[in-house]
Amino acid sequence: MFPESNAAPGYTYDECRATADWLSSRLSVRPLVGIVCGSGLGRLADGLKDQVVFKYSDIPNFPKSTVHGHAGRLVFGTLKGTPCVCMQGRFHLYEGYPIQKITLPIRVFKLMGVETVILTNAAGGLNQDYRVGDVMIIKDHINMPGFAGINPLAGPNEDKFGVRFPCMSDAYNRKLVRLAQEVGSELGFSDFLREGVYCVLGGPSFETIAECRMLNKLGADAVGMSTVHEAIVARHCGMRVFALSLISNQAVMDYESEERANHEEVLQTGDERAQQLEKFVATFISRLEHDAATH
Ligand code: HPA
């Protein structure tokens, strides 16, 4: 699977460092929170004050985002006084990048000083109690590509980031899940807030009916094509992770159904919930304690 040189197909520590230094030298504040905006959720970045914006195409080593609905910009700024960095648009396996390259920005976040990563995505609802527009707090994941050896940490380990065999039973910080539940009920969002398991697949084709039924039986509440690789890399280098899925469509589980998953529906649902999600994320961030030593 790996070239004879045994070199990682991703970026070296020095390359990540070079990208982080390039960005840091153009900023006056270090971000403490890193946010990744999923499909249709790019507006989360619009609430940042005192913005400094970089196009991915201008940042050394950054891959280019090729997906409709993803802006391809890195936005720095403050949310209720907390310095943040926001990826408007992420990189996916289905774009053809090696998995180790997709997660470069997460390591760059770490090197710039980020302590907490907030990952968002649009996902198909597998849990039959879920409705389109629900927001699922991710409490755990199933890494399907990982079962086949497709893992962002495959290849030589970068010891400067973390250990060879990182634990994943605490991938999604439980204190942050509780905080999100509190914030959700304070804001009156409890009736559409859920907590569940996210399953990642490679995409880009949506799932068949048989696949959806299988994933649901295996314990997945929602299915998508992102987030898990970023969560693994963030945990590997010691950042705490909080993640949300916006249920943008019901995964089709029934052969009689006339429903068909499509990307336009995914983007439209994002638009409709965007304002509430913005408020939710801003309030959540304002309540974070910034003390990396206690994570
Ligand atoms: N399946 C996979 N990925 C998705 C879906 C889906 O139904 N909706 C949004 N992203």
CA 248 to chain centre: 15
Active site residue ranges: 39, 70, 92, 94-95, 122, 225-226, 249, 263
pLDDT score for 2: 47
pLDDT score for 147: 96
Pocket test for ligand 1, best of 70, 206, 212, 253 (most atoms within 8 A of CB): 206
pLDDT score for 70: 58
Contacts within 8 Å (CB) and 24+ apart, 255-261: 255/209, 261/124, 261/206, 261/207
pLDDT score for 67: 67
Pocket test for ligand 1, best of 223, 257, 259 (most atoms within 8 A of CB): 223
pLDDT score for 269: 74
**What residues contact residue 161 under an 8 Å CB cut-off, 6+ apart?**
13, 107, 110, 236, 237
Helix (H, G, I), strand (E, B) or coil at 143: strand
Q: What is the pLDDT along the chain (295 residues), one digit of tens a residue?
A: 444 444 457 789 999 999 999 999 999 999 999 999 987 788 888 889 999 999 999 999 998 767 665 579 999 999 989 999 999 999 999 999 899 989 999 999 999 999 999 999 999 999 999 999 999 999 999 999 999 999 999 999 999 999 999 999 999 999 999 999 999 999 999 999 999 999 999 999 999 999 999 999 999 999 999 999 999 999 999 999 999 999 999 999 989 888 787 888 777 777 778 789 889 999 999 999 876 544 5
Output the six-digit token pair for 213: 């039924």
pLDDT score for 262: 80
| Rounded Cα distance, 37 and 176, in Å | 18
Helix (H, G, I), strand (E, B) or coil at 111: helix
Q: Structure pTM?
A: 0.93
Q: What is the identity of the amino acid at 277?
A: L
Identify the residues whose C-beta falls under 6 Å from ligand 1: 122-124, 206-207, 223-225, 248-249, 251, 261, 266
| Rounded Cα distance, 69 and 267, in Å | 7
Topology of domain 4-287 in CATH is: Rossmann fold (3.40.50)
Q: Is 20 annotated as ligand-binding?
A: no
Distance 190 CA to ligand 1 centre (A): 23
Q: Is 90 annotated as ligand-binding?
A: yes
Output the six-digit token pair for 128: 């039959």
pLDDT score for 291: 60
Residue with tokens 């993803």: 70
| Rounded Cα distance, 89 and 66, in Å | 9
